Structure 1
Amino acid sequence: MLLLYNFGIALYRMIIYIASFFNLKAELFLNGRKNIFNVIEKQIDTKQKHVWFHFASLGEFEQGRTVLEELKKNYPQKKIVVTFFSPSGYEIRKNYAIADGVFYLPLDTKSNAKKLIDLIQPEIAIFTKYEFWYHYFQLLQERKIPLLIISGIFRPGQLFFKWYGGFYRSMLNCVTHFFVQNTESVELLQGLNFKNVSLSGDTRFDRVAENVLTVKHLPLIEEFCGKAPVFIAGSTWPQDEQLVTALIAAYPQWKFIIAPHEIGPAHIDQLLKLVPGALRYTQLNTKSPQPDSQVMVIDNIGLLSSIYQYGRVVYIGGGFGVSIHNTLEAAAFGLPVIFGPKYDKFQEAKDLLSLNAAITISSMAELSAAFKKLQKDTNAGPAAKKYVQDKTGATKQVLTYLEQYI
């Protein structure tokens, strides 16, 4: 099985290489790993021990960020290294000031694992939610370096829990402690005789709750919204946008803010064709009045979590693709949420639905009905906010555990 795994890693690299000729993310993925060990050696003190945080992408970074920042606040002398698997995480957070180094994770080969761990000398490794890499995990265990999974979530369909999943279960054996989001994950791991499991909840709740308290005001957004009620469509994909833009003409008294997941020029141009006359955020001028418009398109990254403060109802994209994006950032502001049919991987989405703080839709008619319902519902927003507040505390639990090592 290890031979097949190694072949899969090599094949993945070949596919990325071919894709890099016509795909920007693949190009960034490949170029970011060129001479990576020389880059690491120049940027950090390789004679120092580091706390190693690894994140798959930007979402996982935001999820584990509270643990990282609280750890640094409590132990300012500690050196921290952050790695990302995906360009969408690395490219946005590569200048993250709290870390002593931010790098792409080299692909999981035995030699890469040895080189990276030799250079960063982790005293502890903290992986968020998922990402299970055989060679990295085996070497951490071999060197007796504690490995934590925080905000972990497990499902019965994963390979760990199949009769033929022994190879993948061997990676779980390398984990010192699991901090998981729900009781199902606890039960699945205990079913494999893992006792090193804590039901901590999700550190994202701490992050989004903190964001509400420290949110930055956005004067251009405030000016656009005025006193109108605002519908926010966050992290949208084309199929989401087809549905959302069909609402605009029917609700002239509402303002609409659309923040697409992909902000490349081609996609922004496609979106603007759907809504002629929409404002582009990056083309607004603070010195001149905004032209009157019902719609604003957010064509840069990093604003969405602050934009939610201006909303009344929120639509979260992704539910017609792989899966929905982050619902908690909106819920933390007390906003009812609408999303597409693919949400089963996210416990918080299921919870919000059970609390009547969210509605899932699969058609234009259902979106229209959900929007009408939530305009009148005075309980959905407060229920969403209370849900977030009640679920905070995972960060403190993880940090308390870390004290024995840090």
Structure 2
Amino acid sequence: MRFLYTLLMYLATPVIVLRLLTRGMRHGSYHQRWPERFGVFPAPGLSGSLWVHAVSVGEVNAAEPLIKALKRAYPQAPLVVTTVTPTGSERVRQLFGDAVFHVYLPYDLPFAVRRFLHRVRPRLAIIVETEIWPNLYFACHRRGIPLMIVNARLSERSLRGYRPARGLVRAALRCVSHVSAQSRTDAARYRMLGAPSDKVVVSGNLKFDMPVPEHAQEQGEALRVQWGPLRPVWMAASTHEGEELAVLEAHLEVLQRFPDALLLLAPRHPDRFRLVEHLVRNLGFSAGTRSGDRVPAPVHQVFVIDAMGELMPFFAASDLAFVGGSLVPIGGHNVLEPAALSRPVLVGPHTFNFDDITQTMVQQGGAQRVASSDALGAAVLQLLRDRPSLHRMGERAHAVFDSEQGAVRRVMTLIDHTLGE
């Protein structure tokens, strides 16, 4: 099975290179750094590094408190952080600068994996959330590098997706020292996938331990002063194709009741920023953008946040937040960022990537689920009309965020134990 998998990876290499070239037409970093995808980069002269892999922006944000804990606990150990996407790479740069060594994770080709491990020489490998690459896992096991999956989550859809390669995945998971799952449901699914039961523990979600930016609240209050502190403001964050139109239609409903209302619209992917801006303007909204206007003006009805890593002050400046990826079957995104700032959360029906967190938020009264795109405007209006309920919902969202903290401490205990063996 592993031989067939590796053969397929080699056969797919020309397609992979073509994909790099195609994406490079939109993102220059794909052209500039494509050798990293094959393990080719100047050796940084590291030894005994602690390596953390986080696929993209969401995983990097989740890993932030853990990486900072590693820096405090092991100040002499070099830290390596890998990502897959340019947006993840940019987020690493924003958060850590030169304090960590960053490269892209190589494709799961044996020669690329060998080159990568030879150059970074990790003492410990930490995979954030769900990235099961058999050749990488086997290579770590052969070299005696402990490998942990932390903040591990596995949706029902992903579990079904792994079924055709269940034997190979099971063998790869036997190379893992610990699977630190977000929830009991995720732990059970990892066991079903083939992870040994004695290696699977529940540590909670690292995102509950994410630091709220020091001045986020103050920055949010400053923004509100500029556009009017009594102005109704709601935010649609991490939206995907098929959601922006629904959000804008909901905002039309809001404007009928609150003509001075403001929508803060943050598309998930940078390559859609301009497209979303054009959509907003073509529909006749008075619009501003983060890149062009910096902050919303009183005349703006919609403000497109066309920037990465800047959502927290805007969450703080909002009355409530809709979290995208949930009106379309993407699986939802992180509801904890607005909750950390005591903001009520609205989500659509598709939240399978964050089932337990979202369900807890809904059950505790900090989040509300809308059944469809058509129901979004009414839900936003209901909260904006009922300020006492809006504030209670925000307080309950923050209470959930507070009550679930401690995952970093539990994961660090596992890491200390693993490194001490």
Letter in 2 for 1:335: R
1:297 equivalent in structure 2: 304
How far off its partner does 1:331 sit? 1.4
Q: Secondary structure at 2:219's aligned position in 1?
A: coil
How far off its partner does 1:27 sit? 6.7
Contact persistence 2:285–2:301 (CA under 8 A): no
TM-score for the superposition, normalised by structure 1: 0.89
How far off its partner does 1:79 sit? 0.4
Residues 222 and 136 from structure 1, CA distance in 2 versus in 1: closer, same or farther, beyond 3 angstroms?
farther
1:343 lines up with 2:351 in the alignment:
yes
TM-score for the superposition, normalised by structure 2: 0.86
Contact persistence 1:229–1:312 (CA under 8 A): yes
Q: Secondary structure at 2:247's aligned position in 1?
A: helix
How far off its partner does 1:360 sit? 2.5
1:309 equivalent in structure 2: 316
Residues 206 and 225 from structure 1, CA distance in 2 versus in 1: closer, same or farther, beyond 3 angstroms?
farther
Structure 2: distance between partners of 1:295 and 1:163: 45
Deviation per CA, 1:128-160: give whole Å up to 9, x if none.
Answer: 011011111111111221111111023455159
How far off its partner does 1:362 sit? 4.3
Residues 159 and 225 from structure 1, CA distance in 2 versus in 1: closer, same or farther, beyond 3 angstroms?
same
Q: Secondary structure at 1:39's aligned position in 2?
A: coil
1:122 equivalent in structure 2: 122
- Counterparts in 2 of 1:95-174, with a 5 A limit? 96-97=96-97, 99-155=99-155, 158=159, 162=163, 165-174=166-175
Structure 1: distance between partners of 2:208 and 2:156: 24
Q: Give unpaired runs (5+ residues) of structure 2.
A: none
Contact persistence 2:233–2:319 (CA under 8 A): yes
1:217 equivalent in structure 2: 219
Structure 1: distance between partners of 2:126 and 2:21: 34
Residues 203 and 274 from structure 1, CA distance in 2 versus in 1: closer, same or farther, beyond 3 angstroms?
same
Residues 159 and 120 from structure 1, CA distance in 2 versus in 1: closer, same or farther, beyond 3 angstroms?
farther
2:283 equivalent in structure 1: 274
2:262 equivalent in structure 1: 255
Letter in 1 for 2:404: K
Letter in 2 for 1:139: A
Structure 1: distance between partners of 2:163 and 2:240: 33
How far off its partner does 1:324 sit? 1.6
Q: Give unpaired runs (5+ residues) of structure 1.
A: none
- Counterparts in 2 of 1:6-405, with a 5 A limit? 6-10=6-10, 12-23=12-23, 24=25, 28-29=29-30, 31-34=32-35, 37-41=39-43, 44-46=44-46, 48-94=47-93, 96-97=96-97, 99-155=99-155, 158=159, 162=163, 165-190=166-191, 192=194, 193-207=196-210, 210-211=211-212, 213=214, 215=216, 217=219, 219-220=222-223, 222-246=225-249, 247-248=251-252, 249-250=255-256, 251-263=258-270, 264-284=273-293, 290=297, 292-319=299-326, 320-346=328-354, 347-375=356-384, 376=386, 377-378=389-390, 379-404=392-417, 405=419
Structure 2: distance between partners of 1:160 and 1:234: 28
Residues 156 and 393 from structure 1, CA distance in 2 versus in 1: closer, same or farther, beyond 3 angstroms?
same
Structure 2: distance between partners of 1:34 and 1:164: 28
How far off its partner does 1:31 sit? 4.5
Higher helix share: 2
1:3 equivalent in structure 2: 3
Structure 1: distance between partners of 2:53 and 2:410: 19
How far off its partner does 1:214 sit? 5.1
Residues 220 and 390 from structure 1, CA distance in 2 versus in 1: closer, same or farther, beyond 3 angstroms?
closer
Which piece of structure 1 moves more, 289-298 or 310-319? 289-298
Q: Secondary structure at 2:41's aligned position in 1?
A: helix
Q: Secondary structure at 1:150's aligned position in 2?
A: strand
How far off its partner does 1:221 sit? 6.0
Residues 20 and 172 from structure 1, CA distance in 2 versus in 1: closer, same or farther, beyond 3 angstroms?
closer
Report runs of 4+ in structure 1 exceeding 6 Å deviation.
none
Residues 60 and 398 from structure 1, CA distance in 2 versus in 1: closer, same or farther, beyond 3 angstroms?
same
Letter in 2 for 1:228: R
Structure 2: distance between partners of 1:159 and 1:297: 36
Letter in 1 for 2:35: K
Deviation per CA, 1:359-385: give whole Å up to 9, x if none.
Answer: 223434311232233332243221111
Structure 1: distance between partners of 2:377 and 2:90: 37
Contact persistence 1:57–1:88 (CA under 8 A): yes
Contact persistence 2:60–2:91 (CA under 8 A): no
